[in-house]
Structure 1
Amino acid sequence: MKGGRGQRAGPLRSRPEVEPDGVSCGASGAAPRDGTVRPNSHGRERRSISLDKIRTRPAEVSSTRDGKVRWTQEENILLMRTHFIAQQQQHDTGGNYRELLTTIWNEINPEKQSYPNLLVNRVRLFLQNERFSTVELEAIKKSIRPHTPNPAENTDVDNEEAYAEHPMEPTPQWCQTNKIFQKNMKMYARVSTQDRPKIPRLKGSRKILESVERANTVIKSSIRSDSTIADFVDSVYAGAITVCEKNGIRLYSRQTKPREEKMPPWKTRLEKKINNIRKIIGTLHTYLNNNSPTRKIVKRVTSQHHIKARDEQLRQQLIILCDTLKQKIKALGNRIRRYNERVKRYKNSQLYYKNPKQFHRSLEGTVTVNKSYPTPENIHATWKEIWAHAGDHDD
């Protein structure tokens, strides 16, 4: 007697069994026996079939992380600034570097929360692969505020000092403004003005005026007796950024993608042509200045310019050809030079209308960043040598 569909007629199966919906077969192709279920990693509900009844079992849901997130250049620079701030706080307070790095990053950049392993490994990868040059790392390190307090440990102390200097009782709105202000101070303190986001022009309204008043009180509480003019400028800028964030005003970064300067095709062709002519002139110069030259040197040149190699006036014709090629190079070079001068004038004109300050700085030439100024003692000694000794001069 033949077995029915899906049944076993004996130790060997004469026909393939049909797998019920939702059931995965084993290695031999048969359905699992007696309610056995293969573990599922896709989070779907699996069913097992047995002779008595059909039972449903929820499979374990696997914990998967989000996909790969791209980091921008600004976020990489901000991570390195957070790294130097964490190192400074570790040196001052003796705290854990991983905890400090994670706390500062999550407070400065709350839109992109992260965990210690990712941040530490990313910093180590930047340093090992030399993602930033030594000059860039020094600039980022100088841009952090020295002796920055730990936000996780000294937040209460900072708030108490701010409240003591604040003439009014702190309100929840004032505390929120102070928190955003402290975050912006850590982000933009000691950062060059060219790298900071541009503050847009705000439309006057009662809400903005109230935000400006609260920001002014926060700025007054942050300025101390030993603050420098640079600290004052940083505080004012952080206050302006705080007002924009409180009112939902979008900030535009000044770091635009540099436009690739594409060379025109005709210029590329001219430069290639000039290089080829220079090679020919070099060959002719070698032949003409050699005491016992061989015609193999100029065999290719003579064939290209239709000159007979066995002509008696071969040397004279090669001299004329060499002079002609030199004049041709000069003419082509003048075309390229006129184009480069025109492009330079156009760029200077555009820069003058868009940013006159940057235009005048470019005219000054190189600017030394680290200037050494004389001390008051040196100035006094220099002028003392001039004016301390009396002398008579014949005019």
Structure 2
Amino acid sequence: MDGSTIATLHVNGRRIGLGCIAFYAELEPSISVSEQNLADRVRYIMRSNIFDVAELERLRREAVPSSNESMLWLELRLHKLQSTPQTWKPPWIPVVVDSNDDGIVSQELELEHMRSILEEAIVETRSTPLENRLRLPRIPPSKRNRAVVRALNPMLVTYLEASRDLCETDSILFGAALAVCRIIGAKLPTAGRATGRSSAIPAWRIRIEERIAKARALIGRLICFRSGNNRPRIVRTVRMAFAGTNVSLSQPDIAQKLTERIDDLKQKIAAWGKRIRRFTERSRRFNQNRLFQSDQKRFYKSLERPKVCGAGQAPDQADIVAFWRGLWSEPVNHSEGPWMEVVASQCASVTPMDPVTITPEDVAEAVRRAPNWKSPGLDGLHHYWVKGFIVCHVGTSLPPG
């Protein structure tokens, strides 16, 4: 970028805005710049003293003869730019952040466009099933991204106040996170999370099963050759099976060599199968131990074997009604044993536990300690977004990251 060309844009010691961009576009049509870029270059030229005062004054006079005329020209250019339809406008507006404001979104940001993106993302999230939501990417912790999150916070108040339950609040936060990703231009997958999931079978088991399948196919061809099948494909496979050995297909003891090779392959298949069972059992024990530590109810429920229902004739509806009516409709007088009195006397001296009240501060503290990009649950919402959208935990001010 030519320093003298940029110096001509420094009129009265301040930026002129879109007019300067249009002016520079006419001077240098092959280079595309932004307003912030021009301002940074002008600030660098003025601080580094590349041009002296006389040179700057000469450039200013050559570029703009009069300050009034320059302002009028720039206003006309700005009006022309605003009145011309912008067909090249992308689906989202990049955020303009002033580096001197420590990440605060500039006043020049088009908040209305951001609000429309937010509303569209929330509507889209509400109409999408939970398992078909997009996979949100990790965004870098830059000032620009944090500024976008802070800018959307006041827009979420209306949606959160009208939320009826926790599921709707979760969909609102996910929609806001989706809007942030679209505003900053983050790459989003075109399909849902269900299509991006890996196979449930681990890779080590797939490799071992492929070895077993190849060994079984080789055993079949060796048996065919031993029984007298001399087709070219069979003969070629047998030669490859004995490659690197001194075994020849024309030697008299070839039948014994084939039998030894078949037995060797069968032993390998048995060893591989035992390895799969051992690894599977180890993985099952590991998952059960982890489930027992996190949720004992689910652990014990997983141990229950489902009952196999018979395929016979279903019971009569009248018999079912009579059976359950005899259990629930007829009053029964229960006689409690003496042990109930003993238990009641022992529990009389126990002080009841105080009621547990969860405050917004407790929730905010728990969220603050959570990792930003830990693998999310079924809703697909990372802790980063719960931290960043502070309007969902009232009375706190927690910056994201």
The reply to whether TM is greater than 0.5 is no
The structure richer in helix per residue is: 2
Report which structure shows greater RCO (CA 8 Å, sep ≥6).
Answer: 2
The two structures have a TM-score, normalised by structure 2, of 0.35
The two structures have a TM-score, normalised by structure 1, of 0.35
